Amino acid sequence: MDGSPTINYPSTTASHHEEHPDLRVWGLLIFLVSESLMFGGLFMVYLIYRGSAQQWPPEGTEVELLLPTINTLILVSSSFVIHLGDAAIKKGQVAGLRLWYVVTALMGIIFLGGQVYEYLTLGYGLTTNIFANCFYLMTGFHGLHVFVGVLLILGVLWRSREPNHYSPTKHTGVEMAEIYWHFVDVIWVILFTLLYVLTHL
């Protein structure tokens, strides 16, 4: 190849006048890689502080385990629920899509509610100590992502009112909401491990 001219003739070039295929899923995946590094940075910060601390978490800022575990179960299972919605639209069942997406959104809202309840009952705040700093910032930042995910799901529901907006062959928006939701879920599993499980060992 190198050194000799490579000549392609018009016959090999198909027309590209038609619109290019929907690339939004690609875009979202690449964006999420980037986004995960943001969480990665926060995880590293947390691990460094944990590694250099005498006692972790410091006296008086322990976390409880029961409510967050329930919350985790809700969020993790919502990932399966949202997938049912995606499977439904692939079969052309808009009603199924709407049902499962409503359920997912509700589970997300319950998760956020549980989070807020936890904040209110923990007995210490953002500024108490370095563990509290990390705890509130990381869970809060994740909560923000859950909130955005709920908004995306609600957006899908809003658009699904229009008949034929989503079809078995055309439902990129549905898929994107689902991928984002899975991402939020995976991040939570890591957070839950770091902040709750590993502080109780």
Partner 1 sequence: MTQTQLPGQAAAPVTAPETAPPKAWKWYDYFTFNTDHKVIGIQYLVTSFIFYLIGGLMAVAMRAELYSADADLLDPNLYNAFLTNHGTIMIFLWIVPAAIGGFGNYLIPLMIGAKDMAFPNLNALAFWLNPPAGALLLGSFFFGGSQSGWTAYPPLSLITANAAQSMWILAIVLVGTSSILGSVNFVVTLLKMRVPGMQWTQLPLFCWSMLATSVLALLSTPVLAAGLILLLFDINFGTGFFRPEMGGDVVIYQHLFWFYSHPAVYLMILPIFGIMSEVIPVHARKPIFGYKAIAYSSLAICCVGLFVWVHHMFTSGTPPWMRMFFTVSTLIVAVPTGVKIFSWIATLWGGKLRLNSAMLFAIGLLSMFVIGGITGVTLGTAPFDIHVHDTYYVVGHFHYVLFGGSVFGIYAGIYHWFPKMTGRMLNETWGRIHFALTFIGTHLTFLPMHELGLQGMPRRVAMYDPQFEFVNQICTFGSILLGISVIPLFINVIWSWSQGPLAGRNPWRALTLEWQTTSPPSIENFEETPVLWTGPYEYGIDLLSADGNKSVQELLGEVSVEAQ
Binding mask 40-79 vs partner 1 (x if CB under 8 A, - otherwise)? xxx--x--xx--xx--------------------------
Binding mask 111-150 vs partner 1 (x if CB under 8 A, - otherwise)? ---------------xx-xx--xx--x---x---------
Report how far residue 162's alpha carbon sits from residue 165's, in angstroms, rounded to the nearest whole number.
Answer: 6
The span of 31-39, 63-71, 74-82, 167-175 binding partner 1 (CB under 8 A) equals 31-39
Interface with partner 1 (CB under 8 A): 1-2, 4-10, 12-17, 20-21, 23-24, 26-27, 30-31, 33-35, 37-42, 45, 48-49, 52-53, 126-127, 129-130, 133-134, 137, 141
